[in-house]
Amino acid sequence: MGGVNLAGQVALVTGASAGLGQHFAQTLAEAGAAVVVTARRADRLDALVDKINAAGGRATAQALDLRDAAAIAATFDAAEKTFGMVDILVNNAGISDGNYAARLSLEDIDNVIDTNFRAPFLMATEMARRLIAAKRPGRIVNLSSIGAYSYGPASAAALYASTKAGISRLTETLALEWARFGINVNAIAPGMFMSEMTEGYLSRVGDGVKQQWPRGRFGQPEFLDSTLLYLVDPASHFVTGTIIVADDAQSSR
Half-sphere exposure of 246 (CA within 13 A, CB side): 21
Lowest average pLDDT, out of 51-55, 99-103, 149-153, goes to: 149-153
- Is the predicted pLDDT of residue 2 greater than 90, yes or no? no
Give me the active site residues, please: 160
* DSSP assignments along 116-176, one per residue: IIIHHHHHHHHHHHHHHHHT--EEEEEE--GGGT---TT---HHHHHHHHHHHHHHHHHHH
Q: How far is CA 230 from the centre of its chain?
A: 15
Output the pLDDT for position 98. Answer: 83
Rounded mean pLDDT of 77-83?
98
- Is the predicted pLDDT of residue 79 greater than 90, yes or no? yes
- Using pLDDT thresholds of 50, 70 and 90, give the confidence band for residue 33: very high
Tens digit of pLDDT for each residue in 8-30?
A: 999 999 999 999 999 999 999 99
- Distance, in Å, from the CA atom of 152 to the CA atom of 163, rounded to the nearest integer, reads 16
Output the pLDDT for position 1. Answer: 43
∠ CA 243-231-8, rounded to 5°: 155
Q: Count H helices and E strands in the chain, helices first.
A: 8, 7
Output the pLDDT for position 206. Answer: 61
- Superfamily (CATH) of domain 10-190+224-246: NAD(P)-binding Rossmann-like Domain (3.40.50.720)
Please state, for a pLDDT cut of 70, what percent of the chain lies above it.
94
Half-sphere exposure of 67 (CA within 13 A, CB side): 12
80 or 196, greater pLDDT = 80
Sign (positive/negative) of CA torsion 189, 194, 195, 199? positive
Output the pLDDT for position 199. Answer: 63
Rounded mean pLDDT of 140-149?
96
Mean pLDDT of the chain: 93
pTM: 0.94
198 or 64, greater pLDDT = 64
